[in-house]
Amino acid sequence: MTGQGFKSLTLIGVLVIAAAFVPFVTNGYWLSIAVTAMMYIALATAWTLFSGPTHYISLATGAFFGIGGYLVATGMSDFDISFWVMAAIAPIVAVVLAALIGAATLRLSGIYFVIFTLGLAEMIRGLVSWVQNNFLGSRGLYVLTDFTEEHIYWMLLGIAATVYVIGWLIDRSKLGFAMKIIGNDEGVAKHLGINTARAKVILFMITGFFSALVGVIVAPRYSYIEPNLVFSPEISFMVVIMALLGGTQRLWGPIIGVIPFILIWETITVSFPNATTLYLGLSFLAIVYFLPNGVVGLIESLTKRGRAS
Amino acid sequence: MNKRKFLARATAGLTTLAAASLLSFTALAADTIKIGTVAPKTGPLAGGSLVSQWPNVDLWVHEVNERGGLKMKEGQKKIELIAYDDKTNPTEHIKAVQRLATQDKVDFIIAPYGTGFNIAAAPIYSKYGYPQIAVTSVTDQIGELTERFPSLFFTLGDTTSFVAGLKDVLVKLKDSGEINNKIAMVNVADAFGIELADVARPLLQEAGFELVYDKSYPLGTPDLSPIIKGAKATEADSFIAWSYPPDTFGLTEQAVIENYDVKVFYTAVATAFPAYAGKFGSKIENVLGAGGVNPDTDEMKAYRARHEEVTGKAPDYWASANTYASLQILEAAIEGVGEVDREAVTNYIKSNTFDTIMGPINFDDQNSNRFWTVGQWQEGVFRGVVSSNIEGAVDVKLKDGWN
Amino acid sequence: MDILISGLLLGGTYALVAMGLNLQYGVARIMNLANGETLVLGALAAFLAFTAISLSPLVTLVIVAPLAFAANWLVYQFLLRPLVKRAKTSGQLEVDSILATFGMSFALVGIMVSIHGEYYTYSFLARPFEILGTTVAQNRLVAFFAAVIIGGGLVAWLNYTRTGTAVRAVSVDTEAARLVGINVPRVSALAFALGGAVTAVGGTLISTFITLDGSIGVIFTMKALIIVIMGGVGDLRGSIIAAVVLGLVETAVASLIDPGLTLVAAYVIFLGILLFRPQGLFGKRNA
């Protein structure tokens, strides 16, 4: 098991190094796809860190992402604080928030947890707009930096790799063991004397930290921040969809969910510029019906078959 | 046939094929000019862009091609339009513009729809040297942005002049004693509304007005009746809403229902839409709104007729004309240079004056100072009442009930 | 008084948004993310009929209801039933239905935008009406009464008829319902189709006073999710009460404090209720 674990870590290491060279190979369109893919890989991996083992589907990604993007924007536009200072503050705010959400939602399970996180994200979005409107009174939130797509790409890659390594370490720690038991049966976990509450909250805080960091890094790419757009619930849904498509039982599941997803998305956008949304919908349906266990399921059943023959 | 022979033949075949396709490609490239565009067809901004942006793009391409194409040095070239839907999502937008620039290798790109999208895409236009004639973009950072992006042009004015236009209307009415100095102001709590309200507060107060009601409401508020009721309870003679399309419709409907008897009723985006008049008919007589046109010039009459004929619907009374004018500028600049030299076209735009349906337009520091800021519904037409450097403003009338 | 009446009317609107989803999720166990699009379809039908042949939305409604019922029945039988059969656990079904209905919502947005991309604006019964000194819009009042009739009818049907009892049984425990001889697939299909019809009719009514467009469905989906969860999954009364609570709170906050805080207040109430009753107002523990 550990041998295999190290093997997968090495594999990821090789992939990260390979991925780091992408900007040297292309710098236009494919790089912009790579940036988008890397943004979702980082978000979906961070999401899986918590939601994979616990089976708690969180729709709070948009809130954390938004906090990252928004705080950078308001810090730079309204208070003239540098990007890097805000980049340090925003994830900490997100961690505090995640701790509060985590603690508040301990009693919730299943769909109640899902919609609670959605409601919370929406509440924050409304609150931020209101505060912006009444107290900060902004004349537009601009994040004008000298970052190029390459810089953003490498920073996102760095986040994604860090999240993966942290996930890998957790998997091998007492915390990871606890999480697995919680995911299987929370009652049993409690009986075994595992502090389920602490384990869940800690993981949720890690997820919040990195999701906000992604928001921070992406803000310069948007240049002009509209609170309603950075706090968009769409991003929470997209992350969940991509992670589920990949499969959440493995930490690398989201990675192989995101890449085909983005590629299919692009192909459709290019092929049917007039009815993109319709064909995207139809392709989702096709995936659900023909890939019942996500991409991970497909790969695992293929390798199983490969070994058997 | 042995393996090697087969390979040789296959290679030869492929080479001819490739050569042939290359040839046909260059032949094709020689007589068309590729123009790209990205704007929302779905998502929150789609309702607006399908009124102001897309029909004008279609109309312009249709007309240029009907004339035989753009007149270049090597002869006329028809436009091949490549259009993508950004789904009102900045990430999608950036990807699509990159695709236009580096995959489709289009010759020119039509500027995006919406302030945020124009700014988010500006680095890409600038990196590849595409001139970007922004229309639906209202910001107070024009100076900094144009300095940063040398191929970015603005045509709809900055936030301050946008608000100042309305302030001038109000000051005039107040000074002649037609309205009191109390104003009820509301805004949608989104980037656009927040920014406008923030600029408006000090401007109106300096002009001697008192904001007796000053509230925001979230995007997508389903029931706006408490707002109209709240504003109605004050003694303000003027109601100002920095609103987006759905709430422009909602606020007006509530005002009709409450019979909100104000002398000045202003809503922002979508007041100039034909659908606004379609919904409310004669009730909106003397409603003020963002934008306006001078519908009486020959150019504007001809444009409105052609718009209806080609796209099957009427243009709005604001950004439609500006959008079409921006395309005329692009067209004239490309023809003026006569070849696909983006830098030359950008410089051409900077240094020339262009004949458009809105009259002559030129740019000082990449910013055009010819635009309408306030319009008013008068007998079924939304006429400009305040402009920056455009002729044909009509006098403002007071609102007199909702009949 | 103003607040009470306007709040109740808004609550009626919210009930129209949420009752359908409650049936679909509570009984058929389908987390329908295309719920908002179903609603917008009902609105689109009303808009097209009104602008093309000046058909009153109240007539359109009569046509929309059976059509939506049939369409949702077919969707359930051919698209969702296979997922139900395939799912080994309820968690698996949740994931599959989220993915599938997410796809459907995209497809529906695509279709609606291709039919009419701009705003669905028209004017129907936008006239004032006085009740107890409060001015309300007639179209909102009509929608409120429709909500009362639909909600009342559904509650009565669920409680006093055989089929209704079967539906409630399935919503409480699918396994037990099967054991007592209830045809679970049939009841689920019925509940899903009925939910779709209620939602579409809601859309038809709402389009008379809110300006919608093809892409706006997701906003209604989220509102419906919040209300259903706040009221408790599988209990229609819960959804109705939650809808009214939200309507009253939003109107009170808008009138007394600041319209900018309406949504925030609504979510605070929602979050607060879940903190004290993690299963919603009427939900059962471990349901």
Interface of A with C (CB under 8 A): 55, 57, 104, 107-112, 115-116, 118-120, 122-123, 126-127, 129-130, 133-134, 233-234, 237, 240-241, 244-245, 274-285, 287-289, 292
Q: Domain limits of chain A?
A: 2-308
Query: Mean pLDDT across the stretch C177-188?
Result: 89
Q: What residue has token string 């808008």? A: C254
Residue B113 lies in a domain: yes
Q: Look up residue C208 and give its two tokens.
A: 């008379």
Q: What is the sign, positive or negative, of the torsion defined by CA atoms of B194, B200, B205, B211?
A: negative
Residue in A closest to B42 by C-alpha: A277
- In angstroms, the CA A47 to CA A37 distance is 15
In this predicted model, which residue has the larger pLDDT, C26 or C43?
C43
CB C26 within 8 A of CB C195: no
Q: What is the CB neighbour count within 10 angstroms for residue C38? A: 30
Non-local CB neighbours of B203 within 8 Å, separated by 6+ positions? B160, B163, B164, B167
Q: B259: closest CA among B294, B232, B287?
A: B232
Q: What is the CB neighbour count within 10 angstroms for residue C220? A: 29
Non-local CB neighbours of C130 within 8 Å, separated by 6+ positions? none
Query: Mean pLDDT across the stretch C163-185?
Result: 88
Confidence of residue B30 (pLDDT cuts 50, 70, 90): low
Residue in B closest to A270 by C-alpha: B84
Confidence of residue B205 (pLDDT cuts 50, 70, 90): very high
ipTM of the prediction: 0.88
Non-local CB neighbours of C149 within 8 Å, separated by 6+ positions? none
Q: What's the pLDDT score for residue A305?
A: 67
Q: What's the pLDDT score for residue B17?
A: 42
In this predicted model, which residue has the larger pLDDT, C84 or A7?
C84
Q: Which residues of A touch B197 (CB under 8 A)?
A: 133
How does pLDDT run across C41-68, given as a tens digit for each residue? 999 999 999 998 989 999 999 999 999 9
The three-state secondary structure class of A7 is helix
Counted across chains B and C, CB pairs separated by less than 8 A come out at 116
Q: B196: closest CA among B239, B250, B140?
A: B140
Full DSSP string of B142-173: HHHHHHH-TTEEE-S--HHHHHHHHHHHHHHH
CB spacing of B191 vs A224 below 8 angstroms:
yes
In this predicted model, which residue has the larger pLDDT, B290 or A9?
B290
Q: How far is CA C150 from CA A204, C143, C220, in A?
A: 42, 10, 18
Q: Which residues of C touch A118 (CB under 8 A)?
A: 222, 225-226
The DSSP call for residue C76 is: I
Q: What's the pLDDT score for residue B15?
A: 44
* Domains of chain C listed by start with CATH number: 2-122+139-276 (1.10.3470)
Q: A106: closest CA among A1, A195, A210?
A: A195
Residue in C closest to A103 by C-alpha: C275
pLDDT at residue B202 tops 70: yes
Are B106 and B131 contained in the same domain? yes
Residue C271 parent element (H or E): helix C262-276
* B102, B116, B122 ranked by CB distance to A28: nearest: B102
Q: What's the pLDDT score for residue A139?
A: 65
Residue B371 parent element (H or E): strand B371-378
Q: Which residues of C touch B47 (CB under 8 A)?
A: 117-119, 213, 215
Which CATH number fits the domain A2-308, given the four candidates 3.30.70, 1.10.3470, 3.40.50, 3.40.630?
A: 1.10.3470
The DSSP call for residue B265 is: E
Are B195 and B285 contained in the same domain? yes
Chains that touch C (3 or more CB pairs under 8 A): A, B
Q: A112: closest CA among C286, C273, C280, C269?
A: C280
Are B138 and B192 contained in the same domain? no
Domain containing B94 equals: 28-158+297-309+316-372
Cα angle A106, A108, A113; round to 5:
110
Radius of gyration over every alpha carbon of chain B, rounded to an integer in angstroms? 24
How does pLDDT run across A33-90, given as a tens digit for each residue? 888 899 999 999 999 888 888 778 889 999 999 999 999 988 888 888 888 998 899 9
CB spacing of C118 vs B275 below 8 angstroms:
yes
Residue in C closest to B259 by C-alpha: C128
Are B250 and B340 contained in the same domain? no
Residue B366 lies in a domain: yes
The DSSP call for residue C278 is: T
Least confident of A1-5, C35-39, C193-197: A1-5
CB C87 within 8 A of CB C231: no
- Measured in degrees and rounded to the nearest 5, phi and psi for residue B217 equal -140, 150
pLDDT at residue B5 tops 80: no
Are B201 and B281 contained in the same domain? yes
Q: What's the pLDDT score for residue B239?
A: 95
The DSSP call for residue B68 is: T
Rounded to a whole number of angstroms, the distance from the CA of C117 to the nearest CA of chain B is 6
Q: What residue has token string 């060279």? A: A21
The DSSP call for residue C111 is: H
CB spacing of C254 vs B217 below 8 angstroms:
yes
Residue B85 parent element (H or E): strand B75-85
Query: Mean pLDDT across the stretch B312-341?
Result: 93
3-state secondary structure C115-143: HCCCCECCCCCCCEEEECCEEEEHHHHHH
Q: Which residues of C touch B230 (CB under 8 A)?
A: 254-255, 259
Q: What residue has token string 């009929």? A: C49
* A274, A277, A283 ranked by CB distance to C109: nearest: A277
Confidence of residue C251 (pLDDT cuts 50, 70, 90): very high
Q: How far is CA B343 from CA B49, B123, B350, in A?
A: 28, 15, 11
CB A200 within 8 A of CB A99: no
B44 touching C (Cβ < 8 Å): yes
Cα angle B243, B260, B190; round to 5:
15
Amino acid at B310: V
Residue B264 parent element (H or E): strand B264-267
Report the CATH number that the domain containing residue B336 is assigned in CATH.
Answer: 3.40.50.2300
Q: What's the pLDDT score for residue A138?
A: 65
A287-291: long-range pairs with CB below 8 Å, 24+: A287/A245, A287/C99, A287/C103, A288/C83, A288/C96, A288/C99, A288/C100, A288/C103, A289/C82, A289/C100, A291/A245
Q: B392: closest CA among B307, B298, B287, B319?
A: B298
In this predicted model, which residue has the larger pLDDT, B262 or A32?
B262
pLDDT at residue B10 tops 60: no
Non-local CB neighbours of B211 within 8 Å, separated by 6+ positions? B183, B184, B185, B201, B204, B205
Full DSSP string of A98-132: HHHHHHHTTT--HHHHHHHHHHHHHHHHHHHHHHI
CB spacing of A284 vs C98 below 8 angstroms:
no
Q: What's the pLDDT score for residue A2?
A: 53
Confidence of residue A3 (pLDDT cuts 50, 70, 90): low
Q: What's the pLDDT score for residue B16?
A: 43
CB spacing of C110 vs A276 below 8 angstroms:
yes
Confidence of residue C173 (pLDDT cuts 50, 70, 90): confident
In this predicted model, which residue has the larger pLDDT, B333 or A20?
B333
CB spacing of A36 vs B197 below 8 angstroms:
no
Confidence of residue B151 (pLDDT cuts 50, 70, 90): very high
- In angstroms, the CA A38 to CA A45 distance is 10
CB B364 within 8 A of CB B345: no
A-interface mutation test, from C31, C101, C102, C285, most A Cβ less than 10 A away: C102
Q: What's the pLDDT score for residue B3?
A: 47
Non-local CB neighbours of C40 within 8 Å, separated by 6+ positions? C108, C112, C203, C212, C213, C214, C216, C217, C220
- Strand ranges (DSSP E) for B111-261? 132-134, 152-154, 182-188, 210-217, 238-242
Residue B4 lies in a domain: no
Residue B393 lies in a domain: no
Amino acid at C218: V
CB spacing of C259 vs B257 below 8 angstroms:
no
Whole-model pTM: value is: 0.86
In this predicted model, which residue has the larger pLDDT, A242 or B30?
A242
Bridge partners (DSSP) listed for residue B78 = B32
Residue B217 lies in a domain: yes
B129 burial (CB, 10 Å; 0-12 / 13-18 / 19+) is middle
Are B260 and B383 contained in the same domain? yes
C261-266: long-range pairs with CB below 8 Å, 24+: C261/A126, C261/A130, C262/B217, C262/B218, C262/B221, C263/A122, C263/A123, C263/A126, C263/B218, C263/B221, C264/A123, C264/A126, C264/A127, C264/A130, C264/B218, C266/C226
- In angstroms, the CA C209 to CA B44 distance is 18
Q: How far is CA B274 from CA A114, B295, C122, C207, in A?
A: 42, 14, 12, 19
pLDDT at residue C282 tops 80: yes
How does pLDDT run across A229-279, given as a tens digit for each residue? 888 888 888 898 888 888 777 777 888 888 888 888 888 888 887 788 888
Residue B11 lies in a domain: no
Rounded to a whole number of angstroms, the distance from the CA of A128 to the nearest CA of chain C is 10
B172 touching C (Cβ < 8 Å): no
Q: How many helices (H) and strands (E) does chain A have?
A: 15, 2
Rounded to a whole number of angstroms, the distance from the CA of B311 to the nearest CA of chain C is 14
pLDDT at residue A24 tops 90: no
Are B121 and B46 contained in the same domain? yes
CB C68 within 8 A of CB C197: yes
CB C116 within 8 A of CB C215: no
Q: C121: closest CA among C216, C218, C210?
A: C210
Q: How far is CA C95 from CA A105, A168, A227, C1, in A?
A: 21, 25, 29, 45
Cα angle C226, A186, C86; round to 5:
65
How many independent structural domains does chain B possess?
Answer: 2
Residue B232 parent element (H or E): helix B225-232
Q: Which residues of C touch A106 (CB under 8 A)?
A: none
Confidence of residue C91 (pLDDT cuts 50, 70, 90): confident
Are B377 and B251 contained in the same domain? yes
Are B151 and B95 contained in the same domain? yes
Bridge partners (DSSP) listed for residue B156 = none
B88 touching C (Cβ < 8 Å): yes
Q: What is the CB neighbour count within 10 angstroms for residue A29? A: 19
Are B383 and B236 contained in the same domain? yes
Q: Which residues of C touch A288 (CB under 8 A)?
A: 83, 96, 99-100, 103
Q: Look up residue B179 and give its two tokens.
A: 């309205």
Amino acid at A183: G
Distance of CA B388 to the CA centre of its chain: 16
Query: Mean pLDDT across the stretch A280-292?
Result: 82
Full DSSP string of A175-241: HHHHHHHHHH-HHHHHHTT--HHHHHHHHHHHHHHHHHHHHHHHHHHH-EE-HHHHT-HHHHHHHHH
Q: What is the residue-averaged pLDDT of chain A?
A: 83
- Measured in degrees and rounded to the nearest 5, phi and psi for residue B211 equal -90, 100
